[in-house]
């Protein structure tokens, strides 16, 4: 469901599968723990492997956005599948979060060097 990598001040979370109520608490906990442990300012969510997302996980993402934004950081999306994009658009998250085609572009867009 989630792979995590720290690159400088950025946490990259590679999400996969169905992001629904059953995984929302685990997703929240793992993201919060990793953000804290790595002192991350920015969060990159790679959604390439996500097949479904519901309101519970949208809430998790919004909560992490608020946490990141309160520390002058950014939350960005990478590789959003069309079905997931539609849900993100309807939720309003696409209006407040940027999207990048690759993780490298996202790292550059958040001010991180690609080769950190």
Element (H, E) at 10: strand 10-19
pLDDT tens digits, residue range 2-53? 999 999 999 999 999 999 999 999 999 999 999 999 999 999 999 999 999 9
Which two structure tokens, joined as six digits, stand for 36?
A: 């804290």
Q: What is the pLDDT of residue 114?
A: 44
Residue 111: its pLDDT value, please? 61
116 assigned to some structural domain: no
Return the half-sphere exposure (C-beta side, CA atoms, 13 A cut-off) of residue 56.
Answer: 12
Asked if the structure places residue 50 within a domain, the reply is yes
100-110 per-position pLDDT tens digit: 999 999 999 86
Structurally, the chain folds into a number of domains equal to 1
* Domain membership flag for residue 85: yes
User: Is residue 52 situated within a structural domain?
Assistant: yes
Residue among 48, 49, 52, 55 nearest 21 (CA): 55
In a domain? residue 77: yes
Confirm whether 114 is domain-assigned: no
Rounded Cα–Cα distance for residues 97 and 88 (Å): 10
56: CATH: 3.30.750.24
Full residue range of the structural domain in which residue 17 is found = 2-109
């Amino acid at each position: 469901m989630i792979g995590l990598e720290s690159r400088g001040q950025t946490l990259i979370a590679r999400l996969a599968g169905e992001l629904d109520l059953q995984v929302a608490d685990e997703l929240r906990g793992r993201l919060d723990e990793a953000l804290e442990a790595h002192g991350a300012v920015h969060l990159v969510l790679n959604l390439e492997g996500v097949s479904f997302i519901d309101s519970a996980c949208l809430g998790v993402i919004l909560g992490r956005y608020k946490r990141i934004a309160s520390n002058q950081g950014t939350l960005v999306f990478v590789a959003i599948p069309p079905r997931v994009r539609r849900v993100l658009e309807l939720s309003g998250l696409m209006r407040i979060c940027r999207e990048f085609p690759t993780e490298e572009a996202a790292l550059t867009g958040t001010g991180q060097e690609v080769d950190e």
